[in-house]
Amino acid sequence: MLQLVGTEDSALKELFYSDNYNRDYAKLGMLLYKQDVIEMQDEWFIEKLQALNSFAGKFEGKPIKIKGFIYREDGLAENQFIIGRMAMTHCIADISPYGMIAESPGASGYADDTWVTITGTIAKTSYHDQPAIKILVQNVEPATAPTIPYIYPDWDFAKKL
């Protein structure tokens, strides 16, 4: 579990300047920023994705590792796909994909719905006119789909920071 310890240094707080709306994501962003490799695991997947996208420019060049399935949406370049997970926020009727753009020269060689583990570095982009992150892919390995394929929000994550 990620935890804030003691007083955060002022430079880091300045880097993750927050207001009432994004205060909790700024705290999570500081924790992620201090990690050698940001690992997108089931726990807090949605919350981490929100923190990364809220402070997209702050994470440029940081290493990241994510396991998910490949899918594509209209408007992506030939060298792009989305790696993501299916999220259930309330009930089965609201299941939707959550993920991030991945860029790789060999992107077209990866089939949709294939489970992979990707490592790479974070870069800044925009998606639907909103700031977002993308992964500049360095390595792709086949992965096994998890027994429970869904991720869930942690409505109380801020209390655990």
User: 60 falls in which pLDDT band (50, 70, 90)?
Assistant: very high
User: 130 falls in which pLDDT band (50, 70, 90)?
Assistant: confident
Residues 91 and 150: their CA atoms lie apart, in Å, by: 11
User: 103 falls in which pLDDT band (50, 70, 90)?
Assistant: very high
Q: Give residues with Cβ within 8 angstroms of 112, minimum separation 6.
A: 70, 71, 72, 81
Among 154, 133, 116, 148, smallest CA distance to 49 is for: 133
pLDDT at 92 over 70: yes
What are phi and psi for residue 117, nearest 5 degrees? -115, 125
Question: Which pLDDT value is given to residue 19?
Answer: 82
Question: Which pLDDT value is given to residue 8?
Answer: 56
- Six-digit token pair at 134? 């993308």
Q: Please give the model's pTM, rounded to 2 decimal places.
A: 0.89
pLDDT at 33 over 90: yes
Alpha carbon 128 to its chain centroid, in Å, reads: 17
Exposed e or buried b per residue across 31-67, where buried means at least 16 C-beta atoms within 10 angstroms of its C-beta? bbbeeeebebeeebbbbbbbbbbbbbebbeebbbebb
- Six-digit token pair at 45? 């997947």
